[in-house]
Amino acid sequence: MFAPLEGIRVVDLTSSLAGPYCTELLAALGADVVKVEHPQRGDESRAWGPRFFEGGSVMFFAANASKRSLALDVKAPAGKEALLRLVRRADVFVQSLRPGTAERLGLGAVALREESPRLVYCTIGAFGRTGPLRDRAGYDPLMQAAGGIVSVTGEADRPGVRVGVSLVDQGTGLWAAFGVLAALHERGSTGTGRTVDVSLYETTVALAPYQLTATLAGAPPPGRHGTAFPLIAPYEVFATSDGELMIAAANDRLYAALCDALDLPGLAADPRFATNPERVARREELAELLRPRLREESSATWLERLGRAGVPAAPVQDLAQVAAAEQTRALGLVQALAGVRTIAPPLSLDGERVLHRSPPPLLG
């Protein structure tokens, strides 16, 4: 099994999703992750939702594989001393405590690096280490609201909605793992650790680079476009006779191929839709001309025809369909852990899927 981080010990003082997802990724790559939890309640995500396995919820199961659990009250002298002994033998310390809590407990970056100068210290925060909101706590949906994602998600004539997956939490976990790996790489030549800072708010803002770049250049804030992509047309979901298809005609050549596959040669030659900027300007007018034709045939029929024409398209599937899909199976994305089927990390090396090494731990 591929384990490039074998021999690296990570002390994980995180809860919820962003921090645990970061350390789960490190564990999947071979790190020895010791998850430090409160002796009575453990990680709060153990209680998020109905019981899923002996150790807690499906949320906890999906973000804490390949770890060991150590039950410690780090506010008690004996618990703190036990944690410090662990830190002295560790390579990485990851914490997501409320702002200022780590420093108040004597577990801040400066204090712990005095215990171990080689330590890579990672803080996963809510609004970041500075600024007027630095002391506020936060969760994924709050950041989607404060960071603009809700404002661009949903239909134009309806209130904004949150993205249906924990995009900000998992994105922040990825950035945290990325920063930790970079700091470990640098430590190989310098011998000293770094302090890695990431936050949910920074991740959220970074998820909208082209929208914010346009806004900074003076464009009005973008609105909601449903399934459509506001910079390309046609590039949205269309109904068929038995389902829905996402069609992505990303350039003029693909638009012409789409019209040909739909037996609509007149649209390909129509000067109103000759270039992508013109199609974007008349997005709804064009969509109204495409919709009746697409409703005439099944999704399977259109997928076959569009595939032959080289036009990118995909069915809108629910998660049960995704779980059962042949592509999911072929990639080995579903992994069994202690009798539970879950999702393996989306990473392969030399053609080998990186897998979780063990199921999530029971508390302590």
Q: Which residues are marked as active site?
A: 169
Phi, psi dihedral angles at 175 (to 5 degrees): -65, -40
Task: Enumerate the H helices of the chain as residue ranges.
Answer: 18-28, 58-63, 77-88, 101-104, 109-115, 140-146, 167-190, 200-206, 209-216, 252-261, 265-269, 276-281, 283-294, 299-309, 319-324, 326-331
Q: How many helices (H) and strands (E) does the chain have?
A: 16, 13
Three-state secondary-structure class, residue 182: helix
Three-state secondary-structure class, residue 138: coil
Instruction: Determine the Cα–Cα distance for residues 224 and 344; give it in Å rounded to an integer.
Output: 33
Contact 210, 238 (CB under 8 A): no
Phi, psi dihedral angles at 277 (to 5 degrees): -55, -35
Contact 120, 196 (CB under 8 A): yes
What number of other Cβ atoms are within 10 A of residue 79's Cβ?
17
Instruction: Determine the Cα–Cα distance for residues 88 and 81; give it in Å rounded to an integer.
Output: 11
Q: What is the DSSP letter of 157?
A: T
Residues with Cβ < 8 Å from 51, sequence gap 6 or more? Answer: 57
CA distances to 36, 79, 141, 188, 257 from 47, rounded to whole Å, are 16, 23, 18, 39, 51
Nearest to 287 by CA among 257, 243, 241, 247: 247
Contact 231, 209 (CB under 8 A): no
Contact 355, 335 (CB under 8 A): yes
